[in-house]
Amino acid sequence: MKLSKKVVLLGHFGVGKTSLFRRFVDNEFSEDYKVTLGVQIKKKVIEMPDGRELSMIIWDTEGHADIEDTRKSYLLGSNAFIYVFDLTRIDTYKNINQDLAYLAKNHPKVKIKVIGNKLDLVNEKETLKIFKEQDIAFDCLTSAKTNKNVQDFFLDLAKEITV
Amino acid sequence: MEEQDKLKILKELLLTEEKEYADSIAKKVEELSKIVHQKQELSHKVDPIIDDKLEEFVAEIPKTLGPTITQALKEEIKNSQDAVVEALFPIIGKMIKKYIAHEMKLLSENINRKTRQAFSFKNWFKRTKARARGISDGDLAITDYAKPRLIQMFVIEKDSGLLITDYSPLSDNTVDKDMIAGMLTAIKSFVEDAFQGGNQNLETIEYELYTIHVQNFYSYYIAAVISGAYNMMFKEVLEDQIIDFAQHHISKRDIENSELFTKKLKKHFEDEIV
Quick one: pLDDT at residue B233? 84
- Give Rg (Cα) of chain B: 38
Cα(A8)–Cα(A112) distance, integer angstroms:
10
CA angle B110–B114–B116, rounded 5-degree value: 120
Residue A83 CA to its chain's centroid (Å): 5
Q: What percent of chain B has pLDDT over 90?
A: 11
Residue B78 CA to its chain's centroid (Å): 30
Interface test with B, best of A9, A36, A41, A78 (most B CBs within 10 A): A41
Asked whether the whole model's pTM tops 0.90, one would answer no
- Give, for all 163 residues of chain A, the pLDDT tens digit: 678 999 999 999 999 999 999 999 999 998 888 888 889 999 999 999 888 999 999 999 999 988 888 888 899 999 999 999 999 999 999 899 999 999 999 999 999 999 999 999 999 999 999 888 888 889 999 999 999 999 999 999 999 999 8
B176 and A CB contact within 8 Å: yes
Higher pLDDT residue, B198 or B19? B19
**Residue B265's pLDDT band (cuts 50, 70, 90):** confident
* Size of chain A, expressed as the number of residues it contains: 163
Cα(B237)–Cα(B155) distance, integer angstroms:
18
Distant-in-sequence, close-in-space partners of A104: CB < 8 Å, separation ≥ 6: A112
Q: Average pLDDT over chain B, rounded to whole?
A: 80
ipTM of the complex: 0.85
Quick one: pLDDT at residue B137? 67
Per-residue pLDDT of B192-230, as tens digits, reads 877 765 667 788 888 777 899 999 888 889 999 998 888
Nearest to A134 by CA among A65, A87, A81: A87
Higher pLDDT residue, B161 or B65? B161
- Give the single-character DSSP code of A67: G
Higher pLDDT residue, B95 or A140? A140
Higher pLDDT residue, A7 or B111? A7
Quick one: pLDDT at residue B144? 63
A41 closest CB neighbour out of B159, B182, B259: B182
Chain A CB contacts of B191 below 8 Å: none
Chain A residue set in contact with B, beta carbons under 8 Å: 1-2, 4-6, 38-39, 41-43, 55, 57, 59, 71-74, 76-79
* Contact check, Cβ <8 Å, B160/A2: no
Higher pLDDT residue, B125 or A1? B125
Question: Which chain A residue's Cα is nearest to B165?
Answer: A2
B148 and A CB contact within 8 Å: no
Order across the sheet with B149-157: list the strands.
Answer: B163-167, B149-157, B220-227, B210-216, B204-207
Quick one: pLDDT at residue A141? 94
CB A149 within 8 A of CB A119: yes
**Residue B122's pLDDT band (cuts 50, 70, 90):** low
Quick one: pLDDT at residue A5? 95
A39 closest CB neighbour out of B162, B178, B186: B186
Nearest to A154 by CA among A24, A5, A27: A24
Does the pLDDT of residue B274 top 60, yes or no?
no
- Cα distances from B19 to residues A13, A162, B12, B15, B27, in angstroms, run 58, 83, 9, 6, 12
Torsion of CA A43, A44, A45, A47, to 10 degrees: -160
Cα(B65)–Cα(B49) distance, integer angstroms:
22
Does the pLDDT of residue B173 top 70, yes or no?
no
Quick one: pLDDT at residue B19? 84
Quick one: pLDDT at residue B117? 66
